[in-house]
């Protein structure tokens, strides 16, 4: 029998590097919102017929060119 922890309230910061110029910040935001609703994170996420792992996008901001680490586009994401 597998046991998984339940974390009722969580949040985190993620940095995403976009290597394709055709992916705009608006497109990235739309995909992150949908992923939070329908795909989720973790083993018991909705994509795996689970009921946990959903998240919501709290903030998406593009990093300035001086803060980027080699990627053409880099964004910071805050999820909860």
**Cα dihedral sign for 49, 51, 52, 54?**
positive
Tens digits of per-residue pLDDT, 27-69?
999 999 999 999 988 888 889 888 888 888 888 888 766 655 5
- Checking if the pLDDT of 13 tops 80, the result is yes
Exposure on the CB side of residue 51, measured as CA atoms within 13 A:
2
The answer to whether residue 70 scores a pLDDT higher than 60 is no
The predicted pLDDT at position 34 comes to 94
In a domain, 1, yes or no: no
Q: Which one is predicted more confidently, 49 or 2?
A: 49
**pLDDT higher than threshold 70 for residue 72:** no
At 38 the pLDDT is: 92
* Residue 7, in any domain of the structure: no
Q: How many structural domains are present in the chain?
A: 1
DSSP strand E in the chain: where?
Answer: 12-18, 57-62, 73-79
Look at residue 2 and tell me if it is in a domain.
Answer: no
| Domain range for 17 | 12-79
Residue 26 lies in a domain: yes
4 in a structural domain:
no
């Amino acid at each position: 029998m597998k046991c998984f922890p339940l974390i009722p309230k969580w949040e985190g910061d993620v940095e995403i590097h976009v290597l394709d110029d055709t992916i705009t910040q608006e497109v990235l935001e739309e995909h992150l919102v949908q992923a939070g609703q329908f795909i989720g994170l973790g083993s018991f996420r909705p994509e795996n017929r689970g009921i946990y792992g959903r998240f919501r996008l709290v903030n998406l901001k593009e990093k300035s060119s001086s803060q980027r680490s080699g990627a053409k586009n880099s964004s910071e994401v805050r999820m909860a």
